[in-house]
Structures are given as C-alpha cells and as structure tokens.
Structure 1
Amino acid sequence: MLTGERSVSQTGIDAVALKPKECDVRMALETPFDTVAIDYEGREYLPDADVLRELADDREVRLTTPVRADGFDPTGDDELWEWIPEGVRRVLVAGHAAYLTESEAGRAVSPRLAAGIERAPDAWVGTEGIERVALAVGGTQYELLSRRTESNLRALRATGYDGEIAVYAPTVLSDDEDEILDAVGAYAARRRPVAKALPEGAETDSNAADRARDVLGAAVRDYALVGSVERVREQVSTLKEAGADVIVGYPARGVEEFVE
C-alpha cells in the first residue's frame, strides 16, 4: 500500500487494469481510479456478472471482449454480449491466441470489430497487431505502451487525428532494478525486438546478468512505466503531451501497490 507522496494517485495515471486470473477485481474499489479495465484471460476467468454490477455501480468498468471468441462474436455466437451487465462498457480486441481455439483464431478480425463498434459505439478498440484495422473502425484507440508509442502519438496528432487515445502500461512503482526486472522483465522479453536482442537462454528476471541485464534494463523502460512516483509521473506527462488522453496502469507487482 502506498501513502503520501508515494501514492499512485500522484502519478497522473487515469485508470487501473486488472487481471481476474490474478486477483479479485473488486479490489479496484480500493484504488483511487474511477475507471477499471478488466483483461480477458479465458472464459473460465470471467468475473461473475454480480461482481461486474457491483463494480459498475461505483466505477466505469470496461471488460475486454475478444471479438473472435465464441460468445463474444458480434457476427455470430454472441450469447455473452447479452450476458454482460448493463452499464459495463467494452474493450474490443482481436484476442490473444493463447485464449482462443484454433478455429476462433482463424476468424477474420475486421468485420467483427466493425460490427462490435456498431453495437457498442463507446467501446475502446485494442490496437495490438491490428493498428490500421483499429483506426479504420474508429472508437477510442487502446494502445499497448512500446518504444514507438510516443512517436506514433505525435504522428497521429500531426495528421489531424482528434479521436481519443488510451495507453496501457504495466507499472512498477520502485527504483530497485531487481524488483523491476522481477515484475516486468519477462513481459518485456516477450516483445519481438527485445527477444531478438537477448542472448539465447538468458534469464529475464533479477537473475539477468551482463548483456541480458543491459538489454532488459532498457526494454522495461520502453514497455512499462517504472521507477519512483515522480519518475512515472514524468513518463505519464510525456505521453499525454504527445497526444494520449488516458493512461491505464496495470499493477505488475499486484493490485495492492495501487491500493490507497
């Protein structure tokens, strides 16, 4: 738990993202954020409808909905569209292959995102791997923080794009390098440019050494918000100056770090 100047509310982060596989998403009620985004980690980890209603009574709730998955497909099997309680908004995503069957993963993304936006015009649209498609269908663009995010934001705004942009970022409120690597080292290592730069078989947590530690030390700062509250506040400010409207922080060391 953070207090005083170490409070997460001092970072400028606007919303919290939670993974139902990791925690009781009702913990969002103990954070200072008015908006909570709930990640999708497979149907077995969907929160109960009553839990979503409880959250929606007090917060803006956005539930990640993979448009290619059975139940969430707005052009086919859509039983879960009606299951989602009234007042719970959506984050439309193509869906990570790890949470889709082979058949689901083979479905076309574009028509399903377009149909989803038609049914839920206030949805955010996840851009990971489908940036052009997401931009074409409209809605709030939901970007995953990367080394290109700042330049991409500036380029979009320079072209006259005036739609809302939200940025998702794993967050670690610590200056301790070992703590940072333990929390987001493996996450950063999965990004393609980082994976290419890492020595084969290298450790990706606090055990990383030599070149691997150097690569990861830079990468975690490209793909996550890390450091003191003041340092994270500076990173958030830079992103907003570049054109981001909403910064969504995922507490990579556990939701307790965001509790006040």
Structure 2
Amino acid sequence: MLTSSHAVTRTGLDAVALKPTECDVRRALELPFETVTIDFEGREHLPGRETIAELAAKKSLRMTIPVRADGFDPLGDDSLFDRLPEDAGQVLVAGHPAYLSKKEKSRAIAPRLGRALDRAPDAWVGTEGVERIATATGATQFELLSRSTDHELRALRAAGFEGTIAVYAPTVLTDDENVILDAVGEYVARRKPVARALPEDGKTDARAVERTRTVLSKASRDFALVGTEAEIGARVSELKDAGADIVVGYPARGVEPFLG
C-alpha cells in the first residue's frame, strides 16, 4: 500500500524490497510504502534487532529467511530468530546459493519450509527453484518476475489457486537505456535463458553493443520493471490482471529515485 504522493506512487507498486549491503534499511521509513521486505545477503549483513524492531513497529515488515542457513534452520541452528521481534513477518526462501555454505546447500528444503510455516503460518514462501513445494504449502507465493510470470499466474488461477501471490522485481525508474543497463544488465544476464542468448564476452552494462545490447534491453523488460512511472504502472497492471495481488519493487538504482 502506498502512503504518499511521491512520484513512485504512479507505478502502482505495493511494496519495496531493500538490500542491507546497499543501503541503511532504516531508509524504508522515508519511502511511501507500508509494506517493506529486507533481503537476506548473509548473516554478517543481517540488521540488528533494534533496527528490525523499529521498522516492524512503523511498517509492515517482512524479513527474508533462508530456511537452509545456519541460524534460520528450523530443524537445526535457529539462533538468529532471536533477532526477529514478534511483529516482524517472514518470507521463507530456499536461499540463494551465493549466501550458503556447501553443507547448507545440501539440506532438504521441503521439511524445513513445513516446520518454518508451523512457526510462522502467515509467512510468504519464495518460489524460486522450489515452485511445486511452494505451491503445495498454500501460503502466499513470492514469485521472482520472469518472462513467463504472466502465463504462470494465469495457470495458477485457472487451476484454482486462491491464495495470495506476490511478484518481486528489480525496478528502474527511468527510460534512459544506459541507466537501465547499468542498473540491471548484469542481473538479467545471469538469468538462464538470457545467458544462453548472449554472445560470449560482451559487456553487460551501458557499454553493451550490437546483439548483446539488444538481448539485454529485451531481457530488462522481461525480468525487471523499467521505464517511466507510467510505463511501469502499465506493466504492474498487466501483472495484476494476470493474477498477482502484490507487486514488490527492489530499487535497483538505490532508494533515491523512489523518493522523488
């Protein structure tokens, strides 16, 4: 839910996602969103309990919880849950491999999601890499935007899924192609279908040229929300028409463009 007349309100975004390695997450208090999620980027970057408590008291806060990671493992070391006040919600995810040890990556996901949902039944569940398991929980589905998201949303609704669906997307509030590629070019280049289509050794930022630039520009619109407020607003409307209930934007250029 948007709570002010900031320019970003014209995008129709419902929530914002912040990364603690990129900004002071307290900046969420300056943003015109009631709902805030904080991404997990390793336990060393987890905000302190006082910060989490302050945000949870003033916003509808959700912390991303990698259920295989030490400290958040509901079947093992769960000591980091002490950082979370009762009013902080959760987004349960398998966990990005970059932030997990070899041992953590080997842990079974399904039983950990089940146990975590027993403890936090109102948690959202990230679907990336575990789509069937996530759907089976019946919890709010937390989808990462892709070129197939619209189709998958319609299929879920047609199959009778009545739960809440949230879609997460890197967001770039500009129609300047160079700025867009600097913000999300590297990100979209890592997505498997894009990586397969890219020529070898091409630059993946504003320096991209020829076919590399063409592929990245198209992929930026498939895997991220980019453009003017009106253009992003139109795309958000398409996602909601397809079945999304909540669209969460990650400010890929930092929080400043979301403040103007």
Query: How far did 1:231 drift?
Result: 0.3
2:80 aligns with 80
**What CA distance in whole angstroms lies between the structure 1 residues aligned with 2:118 and 2:104?**
21
1:230 aligns with 230
2:16 aligns with 16
**What CA distance in whole angstroms lies between the structure 1 residues aligned with 2:158 and 2:247?**
20
Please give the per-residue CA displacement for 1:24-57, whole angstroms capped at 9, x wherever unaligned: 0010111100010000000010001100111111
Matches within 5 A, 1:4-153: 7-153=7-153
Q: Which amino acid aligns with 1:28?
A: A
Gaps of 5+ in 2: none
Secondary structure, in 3 states, of the residue corresponding to 2:183? helix
Residues 1:199 and 2:199 aligned together: yes
Secondary structure, in 3 states, of the residue corresponding to 1:212? helix
Cα pair 1:16 1:33 within 8 Å, conserved: yes
Residues 1:154 and 2:154 aligned together: yes
Please give the per-residue CA displacement for 1:144-202, whole angstroms capped at 9, x wherever unaligned: 00000000001111111100000000000101100100000100000000000000011
Secondary structure, in 3 states, of the residue corresponding to 1:57? helix
Deviating above 6 A after TM superposition, structure 1's stretches of 4 or more consecutive aligned residues are none
Cα pair 1:145 1:168 within 8 Å, conserved: yes
Cα pair 1:6 1:229 within 8 Å, conserved: no
Q: Which amino acid aligns with 1:187?
A: Y
Query: How far did 1:256 drift?
Result: 1.2
Residues 1:254 and 2:257 aligned together: no
**What CA distance in whole angstroms lies between the structure 1 residues aligned with 2:259 and 2:106?**
40
User: Could you state the TM-score of these two structures normalised by the residue count of structure 1?
Assistant: 0.97
Residues 1:218 and 2:218 aligned together: yes
Q: Which amino acid aligns with 1:124?
A: W
Query: How far did 1:83 drift?
Result: 2.8
Query: How far did 1:82 drift?
Result: 3.0
Residue correspondences, number: 257
Query: How far did 1:6 drift?
Result: 7.4
2:189 aligns with 189
**What CA distance in whole angstroms lies between the structure 1 residues aligned with 2:16 and 2:201?**
33
Please give the per-residue CA displacement for 1:70-89, whole angstroms capped at 9, x wherever unaligned: 11011111112233112101
Cα pair 1:17 1:37 within 8 Å, conserved: yes
User: Could you state the TM-score of these two structures normalised by the residue count of structure 2?
Assistant: 0.97
**What CA distance in whole angstroms lies between the structure 1 residues aligned with 2:252 and 2:53?**
25
**What CA distance in whole angstroms lies between the structure 2 residues aligned with 1:217 and 1:143?**
22
